[in-house]
Structure 1
Amino acid sequence: MLTKISKIIALVIFTVVLTGCANSDLSHRYLMRGQVVSATPDNIVVCVGFDDGAKVGQILETYRFTLNDDNDDGADFFQKVEKGQVKIEEIMNEHFAKVSVVKGTVKKFDMVQLKK
């Protein structure tokens, strides 16, 4: 009886954790993290807006995930490489903001996160 209850509790905990991991809105809302969705020389747009708590003037770190050349056992396949910083110039709506490059380089699909 006790083993059956333990299995049910473990299954419920696993389901809750799995559901939490699948909810990307959580990372947007509490970590203020997004992605560069458009990057031209005169217009860079990121998917961070009002709903994420974005404000004009905030500095976001930019980074890119690249394949890791390290072939050692246990090495991660991808590594996080910092690429620079962007500044929020205009909040377009609840989902998007226009930014300008403060330093470094920015490409479409780079990740952005509020500087801590």
Structure 2
Amino acid sequence: MTEEADFSEQITDGKNKSNVRCQFCNCLMLKAQEGTYNQEEVDVPLMTQKQDRTADSLNSEPLKDFWLVKDMMTFENIGFSNTVDGRKFLVCADCERGPVGYHDLSTRHCYLALKRVVHKDT
């Protein structure tokens, strides 16, 4: 189980208080007030995988804090990766690191994991 993180300082009126950026290259992914806070536990592949894994055995971790983005065009900069079980994984469009969340193909909603990004305006 993952350790609990407190993201309350990042949330204002249910939205992201500040810009959301890639933790590796500082690329702007989502502007402030564009994502809606959503809690739902979902297994998301780890950003670093062991070399001896197979395609069917991705190492993952349960994440529960996400920014819900209902329209993918809301993002400033996001990339889409592999599709697994009805989900496309979200990656930074600049450095291609991730996954930082997922895109649900059935609802067409995107979920950006708060734990996988940084929140800052500059």
Normalised by the length of structure 1, the TM-score is 0.31
Normalised by the length of structure 2, the TM-score is 0.30
Higher relative contact order (CA 8 A, sep 6+): 1
Which of structures 1 and 2 has the bigger CA Rg?
Answer: 1
